[in-house]
Amino acid sequence: MFSKESNGNGYQHHHLPPPETAHRDRVRRGTRRSRASTSGDNLSITVRVPEQQHLQPPPCTDFDIAYFHSYSHLGIHHEMIKDRVRTETYREAIMRHQSFIAGKVVVDVGCGTGILSIFCAQAGAKRVYAVDASEIALQANEVVKENNLSDVVIVLHGRVEDVEIDEEVDVIISEWMGYMLLYESMLGSVITARDRWLKPGGLILPSNATLFMAPVTHTDRYSESIDFWRNVYGINMSALIPLAKQSSFEEPSVETITGENILTWPHEVKHIDSYSVSIDELKTVTSKFKFSSMMRAPLHGFAFWFDVEFNGPAIAPSNYHSTSIVDNHMANGSQRKRRTNPNEALVLSTAPEDPPTHWQQTLIYLYDPLALEQDQLIEGSVTLSQSKENARFMNIHLEYSVGGRNYVKESVMK
């Protein structure tokens, strides 16, 4: 399983660690795949030729090529698919919306092995466009053929930004979430698919996503990484502690913590509505926080996690029945339906108190713990921004003040 600890420089995939130095090697070796060449029976490959300059898709960079290459390895897909919390929640979401999906046209943005496309076909979709820019699309096509679904599931090997689909679609499904929700920046491709093909009133799964953060205490983890050097087989190696702090805590760490590590109620960093979010608003996200510690404990850092929900479309057609509760009666008397009982929502959560997923939680550790009293305030802000070098990397800028002192922590998730 991926661990930020063991991957200093490699391209960090949200599902599996790349091999050491994989990123640089892949970029060096990466050759641009000819999108015009076919490489599988029944595999549809088309290139979008934009009519106007301003509609041109963004360029496919060497970083993108490396990114898609990282998804060509089956091990990554194995890790994702065997995450039952993830995969079964998606399957349940599809089945809950079966009355919307049956007989309809679906796009699976980033189909990987094709599993979500096949779930949609099983739910009765008329046609599913399964799009993936990675070579894994070739395998997806084989899976589709072997399951006798070639007349329903059309695998398109190419970027969502480039492939051509000659009809509007009713449903977009995608598993786009990266570590800390936004790492990997795949949501932009879902937005592109939405803006290119989704019919008004169409369904997007997941419908919304929320990123949370909270201060954490984690003495065991700090001791293992730092205090370890104080006495190594009887030898004082404290001289290595500054280096240990840097190597352990410079970058975000993806690991599993529990609710006991959390010191306060979580703060909502960003809420995303899949129907209205724009590509621009994801470039930089800033949120101010104010926490009050629920106990006296050392503050070791901040944890981030997310959840996504699978609600129906904002405007549901009259013959649509999902198991979530909808209400026809809005204050202004309009017929816009909306979910009224949030407890009915189907949620995929990666919170520390919920069953673990392959996303785990993302921790930003401080170089030195801060002693907190009960009810002590931790105030500040967090800014998450796409790296200028590679938009799939994420810069994390944390400013916080405790007990009248101000601190800044910068890290990059690569």
Ligand X SMILES: C[S@@+](CC[C@H](N)C(=O)[O-])C[C@H]1O[C@@H](n2cnc3c(N)ncnc32)[C@H](O)[C@@H]1O
Residues known to be catalytic: 175, 184
* SS3 track for the chain: CCCHHHCCCCCCCCCCCCCCCHHHHHHHHCCCCCCCCCCCCCCECCCCCCCCHHHCCCCCCHHHHHHHHHCCCHHHHHHHHCCHHHHHHHHHHHHHCHHHHCCCEEEEECCCCCHHHHHHHHCCCCEEEEEECCCHHHHHHHHHHHCCCCCCEEEEECCCCCCCCCCCEEEEEECCCECCECCCCCHHHHHHHHHHHEEEEEEEECCEEEEEEEEECCHHHHHHHCHHHHCECCECCHHHHHHHHHHHHCCCEEECCCHHHECCCCEEEEEEECCCCCCHHHCEEEEEEEEECCCCEEEEEEEEEEEEECCCCCCCCCCCCCCCCEECCCCCCCCCCEECCHHHCCEEECCCCCCCCCCCEEEEEEEEEEEECCCCEEEEEEEEEECCCCCCCEEEEEEEEECCEEEEEEEEEC
Q: In sequence order, what are the residues at sequence separation of 6 or more whose Cβ sits closer than 8 angstroms to the Cβ of residue 406?
A: 399, 400
Instruction: In angstroms, give the least distance from the CB of 113 to ligand X.
Output: 6
Choice between 134 and 248, CB closer to ligand X: 134
Q: Which of residues 37-76 bind ligand X (CB under 6 A)?
A: 68, 71
Choice between 60 and 382, CB closer to ligand X: 60
Binding track, positions 308-337, relative to ligand X; x by CB under 6 A: ------------------------------
159 lies in the binding site for ligand X (CB under 6 A): yes
80 lies in the binding site for ligand X (CB under 6 A): yes
**Cα→Cα distances 98→71, 123, 193, Å:** 29, 5, 21
Instruction: In angstroms, give the least distance from the CB of 189 to ligand X.
Output: 3
Question: Which of the ranges 143-151, 157-165, 344-352, 361-369 carries the binding residues for ligand X, by CB under 6 A?
Answer: 157-165
306 lies in the binding site for ligand X (CB under 6 A): no
Question: Which of the ranges 4-12, 107-115, 215-223, 308-316 carries the binding residues for ligand X, by CB under 6 A?
Answer: 107-115
Residues in binding contact with ligand X, number by CB under 6 A:
22
**Cα→Cα distances 412→93, 157, 383, 392, Å:** 33, 31, 11, 11
131 lies in the binding site for ligand X (CB under 6 A): yes
129 lies in the binding site for ligand X (CB under 6 A): no
- The partner residues of 204 in beta bridges, in order of sequence, read 172
132 lies in the binding site for ligand X (CB under 6 A): yes
Instruction: In angstroms, give the least distance from the CB of 68 to ligand X.
Output: 5
Binding track, positions 176-215, relative to ligand X; x by CB under 6 A: ----------x--x--------------------------
382 lies in the binding site for ligand X (CB under 6 A): no
Instruction: In angstroms, give the least distance from the CB of 177 to ligand X.
Output: 8
93 lies in the binding site for ligand X (CB under 6 A): no
Query: Checking DSSP bridges between strand 169-174 and strand 198-205, what pairing results, if any?
Result: parallel
18 lies in the binding site for ligand X (CB under 6 A): no
Q: Which of 176, 89, 212, 179 is nearest to 360 (CA)?
A: 179
136 lies in the binding site for ligand X (CB under 6 A): yes
Task: By CB under 6 A, name the one of 81, 85, 279, 326 that touches ligand X.
Answer: 81
Task: By CB under 6 A, name the one of 107, 121, 125, 133 that touches ligand X.
Answer: 133
160 lies in the binding site for ligand X (CB under 6 A): yes
Report the amino acid identity of residue 289. F
Instruction: In angstroms, give the least distance from the CB of 70 to ligand X.
Output: 8
Task: By CB under 6 A, name the one of 10, 17, 18, 112 that touches ligand X.
Answer: 112
170 lies in the binding site for ligand X (CB under 6 A): no
Instruction: In angstroms, give the least distance from the CB of 299 to ligand X.
Output: 33
Question: Which of the ranges 131-139, 272-280, 315-323, 372-380 carries the binding residues for ligand X, by CB under 6 A?
Answer: 131-139
In the bound complex, which residue of the shown chain has the CB atom lying closest to ligand X?
Answer: 110
165 lies in the binding site for ligand X (CB under 6 A): no
* Contacting residues toward ligand X, per CB under 6 A: 68, 71, 77, 80-81, 110-113, 115-116, 131-134, 136, 159-161, 175, 186, 189
